[in-house]
Amino acid sequence: MNEAKVESMVWSLLDGHRQLEARVDREGEDYVVAFRGRKLRVQLEDPRAWNGSGAGKQSSGIAKITTPMPGKVVRVLVEVGAEVKAGDGVVVVEAMKMQNEMKSPIDGIVKQVAAVEGATVNGNQMLVVIEAHAG
């Protein structure tokens, strides 16, 4: 399949003898892709800003820090029982020749460390569990 940008936010797709068109519109922080009578809402994220799973973005409860993509654990920055603040680095993972520091999204105590330096990890693999401070 070949594609070409027709105009801003419009793409023409050539699949054999068929020509298809996809439109992309911005709606707030989201994009809406219209293709063959269907619409799909899409959120784009900068992988450099990833800090764990969506469950970890809350200010209380438990945060499970996961890998955004396959890679290799370069450094483990915390141990079980360590106290962390939101934004503190917990693990450094190398993916696509870039080192990404996974950060704690909450203040809390490290309850589990599954990351091992030098280990290969899969996308969405759990690395660290942090429990928010009570209260």
Closest by CA position to 50, among listed 83, 114, 111, 96? 96
CA-wise closest residue to 109 among 73, 78, 66? 78
- Rounded to an integer, what distance in angstroms lies between the CA atom of residue 87 and that of residue 102? 9
Which of these ranges, 18-22, 57-61, 64-68, 117-121, has the smallest mean pLDDT?
Answer: 57-61
Q: What is the pLDDT of residue 60?
A: 55
Higher pLDDT, 82 or 47: 82
The pLDDT of 11-16, averaged and rounded, is 79
* Cα atoms found within 13 Å of the Cα of residue 53, Cβ hemisphere only: 14
Write down the pLDDT at residue 6.
57
Q: What are the start and end residues of each CATH 2.40.50.100 domain in the chain?
A: 47-132
Higher pLDDT, 100 or 1: 100
Average pLDDT over residues 18-35: 83
pTM: 0.57
Cα separation, 114 vs 108, in Å, equals 17
Interval 70-124: pLDDT, tens: 999 999 999 999 999 999 999 999 988 899 999 998 999 999 999 999 999 998 8
Give me the architecture of the 47-132 domain, per CATH: Beta Barrel (2.40)
